[in-house]
Structure 1
């Protein structure tokens, strides 16, 4: 428990609040007014009781210093770590003590990113990473509240406007303008929904022509100047995809006419017996879409595949498993606008009732006319 005592100093009377923290260390703070001391005493006792107490010394650790210590123990992929590193490099509050960072400091940072014309989703992602660090500091009792909570970001356009889905004609054009050895890259994106790194990680043994399935067991990534990485799919999304006959035919022709590369049988040829380097894949993808006269991103082929599944009546869980999303909520968050709404279902049902009634009436009138 905390206590208050009156102290007379040369500078005047002060009120001292003393308390022991969770480690038994005694702390003290002085106030010129008793009412302020009483308010602080109540706050300290409440924080100690609820487990939200942050010692004055812990709050002096800077954002950067906490991140450098905390990040060493996180099980992150390279891309995730780079995202967090960007926050620490660019945010204006990273060298401030955690206990001194206010919501206004975070808002200034968000405003600066907006002024520099960062995409709204980029700003939202970076604010989310900063929030993760703040919440980790709270869990380690360096901070009492998250100063990024409630900070507004620029408005995102509706998903229907942000998402570009190529047409069937555009996908066909891409295939027509693709070099023969590169066709599986486009086909696996458009007709199996594989991410670009997953296509690059595909081996001949992953394709089962008898069962008509494709296993996604790995992806290939390379970040900055780091070596090539062959690792598990994003979000550990190992999955088996039911492949259409046409896609299997493209893969079969590739194996016969182009062949697989290296001892592991990579579909995309690289160097030294390994898979293609991501930079090389990006280069050939750019050349292919430019030859086709399109500005399509490779990830849009994944949207094309998802939209086809949804249009064919596949449910959320089926689409989730096919795309390798970590949860059905992720699938809904990305593609909910492509599913029929309850209004669409109601409208179609009502139209069905009308068609049944009116068609029956027409049959009745024709019967009467012939009697």
Structure 2
């Protein structure tokens, strides 16, 4: 977290030049790219450093005081759940061939971005239908490096891979050569994947093509309409001569939309809603505590009320007296 989001922004800035407005602008900008929990943790790290600087009398006051940080309440992720049917039937067909297995793996195993992009073929067993998480890719200021182990002991784990992801991984292995270290996923130049570029060039256009972000409709020969809704609920539209241009425009202009990390959220939510024990979900997610699984990645699921009623359906209305 420190190396990924805090140091790239502040490492070269003198302490006396860090003011309240600069910190607030950074928090606001980071909030547009990262989850409230990530932003809050980055802010906490920066504030602790500046608090130490105040204690050592290097600066007079902590510029983090009074900065507004986005809420970490669970509702920040409500509505960002993709059903397994939509993953397989809508999103995956819309993803370019080179990256379809990557999205299938993330959606079918709950692996994080860095765990997916740091994966090597030696950690995949397609016959046993398992993936071993033993390293992650870390991106700092546009440079991707490989860390040999995930961030916690629980992060080192073996996760079952569903059939649809196994099939796409097998096809990926046949179609695209491995990276120089046996990397499963690379860009078109056989280099490491960069998250920001992937989001702009692959992920968001795929959401548009899948009908999960904005709307593209054909008006006639060489005429396409792009439509999207802004944060105020106002609908905007523009016309283009190609579908590709219309898709790219929505991907750039439309706010919100499903995040790559929401594939992980959707995976855990579906497991719990299907009755998989929380301790098993915790294990495949790589969480240290089951409370993390429940608090971050689950919410009310369809059919919950009826399942609860069914659990008590056979209970007697009265008990026998002794």
Residue 16 of structure 2 corresponds to 95
TM-superposed deviation, 1:192: 0.7
What is the rounded CA distance, in whole Å, between the counterparts of 1:216 and 1:331 in structure 2? 18
Residue 348 of structure 1 corresponds to 308
What is the rounded CA distance, in whole Å, between the counterparts of 2:131 and 2:293 in structure 1? 21
Q: Greater relative contact order: 1 or 2 (C-alpha under 8 angstroms, separation 6 or more)? A: 2
What is the rounded CA distance, in whole Å, between the counterparts of 1:293 and 1:352 in structure 2? 37
Unaligned runs of 5+ in 1: 1-74, 97-104, 359-371
TM-superposed deviation, 1:123: 6.5
Q: Structure 2 length as normaliser, TM-score?
A: 0.62
1:156 aligned to 2:71?
yes
Question: For the Cα contact (< 8 Å) 2:265–2:298, is it kept in 1?
Answer: no
TM-superposed deviation, 1:133: 1.7
What is the rounded CA distance, in whole Å, between the counterparts of 1:242 and 1:308 in structure 2? 15
TM-superposed deviation, 1:191: 0.4
What is the rounded CA distance, in whole Å, between the counterparts of 1:326 and 1:353 in structure 2? 32
Question: For the Cα contact (< 8 Å) 2:27–2:39, is it kept in 1?
Answer: yes
1:198 aligned to 2:119?
no
Q: Structure 1 length as normaliser, TM-score?
A: 0.55
Residue 231 of structure 1 corresponds to 147
Q: For 2:114, what is the secondary structure of its paired residue?
A: helix
Residue 308 of structure 1 corresponds to 270
What is the rounded CA distance, in whole Å, between the counterparts of 1:111 and 1:156 in structure 2? 14
Question: For the Cα contact (< 8 Å) 1:78–1:223, is it kept in 2?
Answer: yes
Question: For the Cα contact (< 8 Å) 1:316–1:328, is it kept in 2?
Answer: yes
Question: For the Cα contact (< 8 Å) 1:218–1:233, is it kept in 2?
Answer: yes
What is the rounded CA distance, in whole Å, between the counterparts of 1:118 and 1:191 in structure 2? 27
What is the rounded CA distance, in whole Å, between the counterparts of 2:195 and 2:31 in structure 1? 25
1:335 aligned to 2:297?
yes
Unaligned runs of 5+ in 2: 214-257, 318-322
Residue 286 of structure 2 corresponds to 324
Distance 1:228 1:152, change over 3 A: closer
What is the rounded CA distance, in whole Å, between the counterparts of 1:123 and 1:196 in structure 2? 17
Distance 1:81 1:245, change over 3 A: same
TM-superposed deviation, 1:155: 6.8
TM-superposed deviation, 1:339: 8.8
Q: For 1:302, what is the secondary structure of its paired residue?
A: helix
Q: For 2:276, what is the secondary structure of its paired residue?
A: coil
Residue 299 of structure 1 corresponds to 261
What is the rounded CA distance, in whole Å, between the counterparts of 2:207 and 2:6 in structure 1? 28
Residue 165 of structure 1 corresponds to 81
Distance 1:269 1:116, change over 3 A: closer
Distance 1:151 1:200, change over 3 A: same
TM-superposed deviation, 1:214: 0.2
Deviations 1:263-289 (A, max 9, x none): 433322336654334455331222322
Deviations 1:105-157 (A, max 9, x none): 97x8888889999679376445412442256559x8669xx979996856727
TM-superposed deviation, 1:208: 1.2
Question: For the Cα contact (< 8 Å) 2:83–2:270, is it kept in 1?
Answer: no
Question: For the Cα contact (< 8 Å) 1:235–1:325, is it kept in 2?
Answer: no
Bigger drift between 158-167 and 289-298 goes to 158-167
Q: For 1:81, what is the secondary structure of its paired residue?
A: helix
1:216 aligned to 2:133?
yes
Aligned match for 1:261, one of 156, 178, 193: 178
Residue 240 of structure 1 corresponds to 158
Aligned ranges 1:1-371 → 2 under 5 Å: 77-82=3-8, 85=11, 94-95=15-16, 121=36, 124-134=40-50, 136=52, 153=68, 156=71, 158-163=73-78, 164-171=80-87, 172-224=89-141, 226-232=142-148, 235-236=151-152, 237-256=155-174, 258-270=175-187, 273-282=190-199, 283-295=201-213, 296-335=258-297, 337-338=299-300, 348=308, 352-353=311-312, 355-357=314-316
TM-superposed deviation, 1:309: 1.5
Question: For the Cα contact (< 8 Å) 2:271–2:281, is it kept in 1?
Answer: yes
